[in-house]
């Protein structure tokens, strides 16, 4: 259905009214009159040049957003300015919004920075249901039918590593897309979100970035625990959360722990997380583990005898990733070593299969390994010495603490002599730069990484 200029502008006004206070709306938008729609360029009449300049300075991003929403990316805006009671159309006042915002258009920012693709391989069909995940799965399926308008908004899913959180929220996003191909969905994680907030602040386009969320229908964000200690990002996320929730847009959030156990996150955010449904994913029981093994083996064309399936199910009681690791190892032995998959091989694989269940990587472990590697006492690594060899050891300890643990930058800094956020970031950046420019240093990092991985985890079977 083709809409005329008045109908388009009426729709724009409804959107604008949601984003400005009543006084500003009555002052700066009520006096505007829609004049005509030519192609995708809308002409609006404003009372005077000052009025035009004020709109351009204060509200052009908002005008651009609503026109973009209703006319598309090639939307245009033309001002008709009343001069001495006469209508005066000035060519300089015609805007091609898409061109105008080529460098600083928050729609482009939205697409470039947040348009991470959902993983099409994660679906409800291959998400194995069991007592460990039944509530979360059923809630996600309910949301698909009416995103943002169920009691499950926000939907908070928490649980340990490798239990299927990312799979489930991707399945939710994919199913929403199947039902409504035009739905605008952001799927990201907290690290990427934080990086884009930092970038937008640095480039002075944070207003544009935040305003781009008015286009969003569903916002899915993984690993919210990494917001810990990030005050500015939390403030911006809080505003985005409120904006979307007030407009009945769906929010889906994952975490490694329950909201009540999150530390370093503002209480007002924690309270909002509790508005909807908070549900957890547990480790799968035996029956569910067997189903998962059968499903993954079938999808990977791996023929497994029943006794092997049951043996894996009984003996691998960790996360879904642990099950996947055993299957990958069995497949590799079969293809590369021409071995038959039987109970003997399976037992060997499980006996040699190491994971983090009983002994997690933590900062103390990392400091000990680095101390032994460089023969430098831990108290010097965490102390104030500026000797180059000690500084390098300290920076590597900080780097690996960031890479291999879930600790916040603030927590890492406190474990390395109460160093501040900026020092921690500088250390990580220094290590990355040296790896890019110094081959010998990169080899040292690789050796250390190998030692850390092999020393901090042990077989548990």
Q: pLDDT per residue over 184-243, tens digit each?
A: 898 988 888 888 888 888 877 777 777 778 778 999 999 999 888 888 889 989 989 988
Collapsing DSSP states into helix, strand and coil, what is residue 167? helix
Across the chain, what does the average pLDDT equal?
82
Same domain, residue pair 443 and 379: yes
Same domain, residue pair 240 and 300: no
Same domain, residue pair 386 and 350: no
Same domain, residue pair 276 and 151: yes
Same domain, residue pair 272 and 293: no
327 assigned to some structural domain: yes
What CA–CA distances, in Å, run from 359 to 225, 267, 350, 456? 21, 31, 17, 7
110 assigned to some structural domain: no
390 assigned to some structural domain: yes
Q: Is the pTM of this model over 0.85?
A: no
Instruction: Match 């994919």 to its residue by tokens.
Output: 174
409 assigned to some structural domain: yes
- HSE-CB at 226 with a 13 A cutoff on CA atoms is 17
- Which tokens hold the place of 27? 């002052």
- pLDDT tens track for 40-94: 888 888 887 778 878 877 788 788 878 888 887 778 888 888 765 545 444 334 4
Same domain, residue pair 260 and 181: yes
- Beta-carbon contacts of 250 under 8 Å, excluding residues fewer than 6 positions away, are 143, 147, 148, 153, 154, 155, 176, 217, 218, 219, 244
Same domain, residue pair 138 and 169: yes
Same domain, residue pair 242 and 294: no
332 assigned to some structural domain: yes
Q: End of a domain among 58, 79, 102?
A: 102
Same domain, residue pair 291 and 276: no
21 assigned to some structural domain: yes
Name the domain count of the chain.
Answer: 4
Range of the domain at 62: 5-102
Instruction: Return the CATH number at 330.
Output: 1.10.8.60
Same domain, residue pair 381 and 401: yes
pLDDT of residue 455: 57
pLDDT of residue 365: 81
State phi, psi for 342 to the nearest 5 degrees: -140, -175
Instruction: Return the CATH number at 202.
Output: 3.40.50.300
433 assigned to some structural domain: yes
pLDDT of residue 170: 94
Separation CA 409–CA 402 (nearest Å): 7
119 assigned to some structural domain: no
Order the strands of the 86-96 sheet from edge to edge: 33-38, 41-46, 76-83, 86-96
Instruction: Return the CATH number at 387.
Output: 1.10.1750.10
């Amino acid at each position: 259905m083709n809409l005329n200029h008045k109908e388009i502008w009426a729709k724009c006004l409804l959107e604008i009214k949601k984003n400005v206070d009543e006084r500003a709306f009555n002052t700066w938008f009520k006096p505007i009159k829609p004049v005509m729609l030519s192609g995708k360029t809308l002409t609006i009449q404003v009372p005077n040049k000052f009025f035009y300049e004020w709109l351009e300075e204060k509200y052009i991003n908002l005008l651009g957003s609503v026109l973009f929403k209703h006319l598309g990316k090639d939307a245009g805006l033309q001002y008709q300015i009343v001069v001495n009671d006469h209508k005066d159309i000035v060519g300089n006042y015609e805007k091609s919004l898409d061109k105008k915002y080529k460098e600083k258009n928050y729609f482009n920012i939205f697409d470039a920075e947040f348009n991470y693709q959902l993983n099409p391989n994660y679906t409800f069909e291959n998400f194995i249901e069991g007592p460990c995940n039944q509530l979360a799965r059923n809630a996600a399926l309910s949301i698909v039918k009416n995103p943002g308008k169920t009691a499950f908004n926000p939907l908070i899913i928490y649980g340990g590593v490798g239990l299927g959180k990312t799979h489930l929220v991707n399945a939710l996003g994919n199913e929403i897309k199947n039902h409504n191909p035009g739905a605008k969905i952001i799927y990201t994680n907290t690290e990427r979100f934080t990086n884009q907030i930092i970038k937008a602040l640095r480039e002075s386009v944070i207003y544009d970035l935040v305003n781009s969320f008015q286009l969003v229908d569903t916002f899915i964000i993984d690993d919210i625990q990494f917001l810990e200690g990030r005050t500015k990002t939390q403030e911006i996320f809080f505003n985005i959360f409120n904006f979307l929730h007030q407009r009945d847009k769906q929010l889906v959030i994952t975490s490694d722990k329950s909201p009540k156990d999150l530390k370093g996150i503002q209480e007002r955010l924690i309270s909002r997380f509790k508005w909807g449904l908070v549900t957890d994913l547990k480790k799968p029981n035996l029956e569910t583990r067997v189903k998962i093994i059968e499903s993954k083996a079938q999808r990977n064309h791996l023929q497994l005898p029943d006794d092997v399936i049951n043996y894996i199910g009984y003996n691998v009681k960790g996360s879904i990733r642990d099950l996947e690791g055993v299957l990958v190892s069995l497949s590799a032995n079969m293809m590369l070593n021409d071995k038959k998959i039987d109970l003997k091989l399976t037992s060997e694989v499980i006996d040699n299969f190491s994971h983090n269940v009983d002994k997690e990587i933590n900062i103390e472990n990392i400091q000990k390994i680095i101390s032994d590697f460089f023969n430098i006492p831990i108290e010097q690594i965490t102390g104030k010495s500026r000797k180059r060899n000690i500084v390098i050891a300290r920076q590597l300890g900080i780097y690996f603490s960031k890479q291999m643990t879930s600790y916040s930058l603030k927590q890492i800094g406190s474990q390395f002599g109460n160093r501040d956020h900026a020092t921690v970031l500088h250390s990580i950046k220094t290590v990355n730069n040296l790896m890019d420019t110094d081959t010998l240093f990169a080899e040292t990092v690789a050796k250390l990484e190998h030692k850390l991985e092999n020393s901090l985890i042990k077989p548990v079977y």
